[in-house]
């Protein structure tokens, strides 16, 4: 039986013997690649892209890679495209170009390799540049080598077993901080193939290196590929942020490793961080257009989809629930609720029910209210977990005039008549 270390050495040697030429016809131009699936990373990526487009005026094309529909909703896709960033579902690419990857660290090298661009600046989602990063493609070190890496605050030590595992001479060098990686794929395709190989075997190599970080350096060393490492270490803010420099020593990238943006709540204030207001503006914009959930409506008929389109065109509705003041709800496309979004009204969709179409309002965990259509574009509904609780929806904003004027028993008709009053059960009496 072959020992695991020997088995991985044999596989690496085989990979080095079978390297392929770059499929240059597949790639063109320069661009930015970001891996950001799921609500938390999407929030960070949105801030990054919003700052790039609106504060820094960066016009490089951008791809955002993710693992399948569980990590990206139609609403999130729409928001990215409004910033001229293209979402890329890695599961679709993996169906035609298989690789043994399943997490975000592994995805970074795969996304860089199979992005549409020939020259790629790979950025972590929790990073904010201080200026338009398009300048990196014009650096002399990049033009000369075709690959630029950035150092970490720690070293990859000579006694680390990774050197023996890769058959490389032991040495102590700055570890690589892969929040940003700059690669010309046509020139460094061999190194990228080996870097992918190391990340595909994460269960072995990640025990010796931290995630994908040093795999980039090892891939370049194993293929004897020219590369440059930015000579100065990053400035660090107590593990909250790494401030990475250009070759002149000026800070270019701010990597918020321990201070990621949060969709809700307070953000971490860093005294040396540049561009905080632009980041706050991005977060505020995101919150106005997305509720922080990866929402997918269930499968439904074409008729239900058409009614959804009609509702989104009407957009503004009034929601009346007995015992509560009437509330305006704005139904946005992609199942999002804008104005009026609350704990029990986060998303919406239409569904097929016994030959009819119903309107469903969802909280963060699933359907909360179901409504049946009534005359005049109105809807009558009940709470799913308590059918005695009624609710009413109408596009006619004059329904707001039907707010409770005095305590009365809740009305039990499919739609409250004009001027009807609503109250809580406590006020209504027996």
In the chain (430 residues long), the average pLDDT of successive 10-residue segments reads 77 97 95 97 98 98 97 96 98 97 96 98 98 98 98 97 97 98 98 98 96 98 98 92 98 98 95 96 95 94 94 92 90 92 92 92 94 91 94 70 34 36 32
SS3 state at 15: helix
Compute the 3-state secondary structure of the chain and give helix, strand, coil in percent, each to the nearest 5.
Answer: 35, 25, 40
CA quadruple 421, 424, 429, 430: dihedral sign: positive
- 296 φ, ψ (degrees, to nearest 5): -130, 125
Query: What pLDDT score does 239 carry?
Result: 85
137/71 Cα distance (integer angstroms): 31
| Contact of 204 with 8, CB cutoff 8 Å | yes
What are the residue ranges spanned by the domains of the chain?
Answer: 4-289, 302-428
Query: What pLDDT score does 4 carry?
Result: 65
6/130 Cα distance (integer angstroms): 45
Residues 6+ apart with CB under 8 A from 333: 75, 78, 312
Provide the token pair at 246: 């250009």
For residue 134, which of 145, 142, 144, 124 has the smallest C-alpha distance?
142
Strand order in the sheet with 367-373: 327-330, 316-320, 390-394, 379-383, 367-373, 356-362, 347-353
Residues 6+ apart with CB under 8 A from 328: 316, 317, 318, 319, 339, 340, 397, 400
Query: What pLDDT score does 83 carry?
Result: 98
The stretches of 18-156 forming alpha helices (DSSP H) are 39-50, 74-82, 90-96, 104-114, 140-145
The CATH classification number of 4-289 equals 3.90.550
C-alpha distances in angstroms, 207 versus 115, 165, 190, 199, 202?
A: 28, 11, 24, 11, 8
Query: What pLDDT score does 207 carry?
Result: 95
For residue 117, which of 180, 177, 61 has the smallest C-alpha distance?
61
């Amino acid at each position: 039986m072959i020992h695991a270390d020997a088995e991985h050495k044999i596989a690496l040697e085989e990979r080095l013997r079978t390297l392929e030429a770059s499929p240059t016809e597949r790639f063109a131009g320069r661009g930015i690649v970001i891996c950001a699936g799921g609500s938390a990373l999407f929030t960070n990526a949105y801030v990054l892209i919003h700052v790039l487009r609106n504060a820094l005026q960066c016009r490089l094309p951008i791809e955002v890679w993710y693992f399948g529909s569980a990590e990206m909703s139609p609403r999130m896709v729409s928001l990215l495209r409004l910033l001229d960033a293209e979402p890329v579902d890695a599961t679709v690419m993996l169906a035609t170009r298989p690789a043994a990857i399943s997490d975000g660290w592994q995805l970074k090298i795969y996304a860089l390799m199979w992005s549409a661009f020939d020259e790629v600046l790979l950025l972590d989602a929790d990073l904010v540049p201080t200026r338009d990063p398009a300048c990196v493609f014009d650096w002399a070190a990049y033009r000369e080598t075709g690959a630029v890496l950035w150092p970490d605050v720690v070293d990859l030590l000579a006694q680390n077993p990774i050197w023996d595992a890769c058959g490389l001479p032991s040495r102590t060098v700055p570890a690589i901080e892969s929040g940003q990686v700059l690669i010309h794929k046509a020139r460094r395709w061999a190194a990228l193939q080996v870097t992918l190989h190391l990340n595909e075997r994460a269960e072995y190599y990640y025990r010796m290196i931290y995630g994908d970080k040093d795999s980039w350096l090892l891939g370049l060393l194993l293929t004897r590929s020219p590369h440059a490492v930015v000579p100065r270490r990053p400035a660090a803010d107590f593990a909250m942020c790494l401030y990475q420099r250009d070759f002149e020593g000026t800070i270019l990238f701010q990597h918020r490793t321990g201070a990621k943006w949060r969709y809700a709540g307070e953000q971490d204030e860093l005294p040396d961080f540049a561009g905080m207001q632009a980041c706050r503006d991005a977060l505020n914009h995101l919150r106005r257009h997305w509720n922080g959930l990866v929402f997918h409506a269930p499968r439904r008929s074409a008729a239900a989809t058409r009614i959804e389109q009609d509702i989104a065109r009407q957009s503004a509705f009034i929601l009346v629930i007995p015992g509560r003041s009437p509330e305006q709800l704005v139904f946005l496309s992609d199942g999002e609720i804008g104005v009026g979004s609350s704990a029990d009204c986060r998303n919406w969709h239409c569904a097929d029910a016994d030959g009819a179409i119903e309107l469903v309002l969802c909280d963060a965990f699933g359907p909360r209210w179901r409504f049946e259509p009534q005359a005049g574009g109105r809807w009558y509904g009940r709470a799913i977990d308590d059918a005695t609780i009624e609710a009413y929806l109408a596009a006619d904003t004059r329904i707001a005039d039907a707010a409770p004027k005095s305590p009365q028993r809740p009305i039990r008709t499919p739609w409250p008549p004009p001027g009807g009053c609503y109250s809580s059960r406590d006020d209504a009496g027996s």
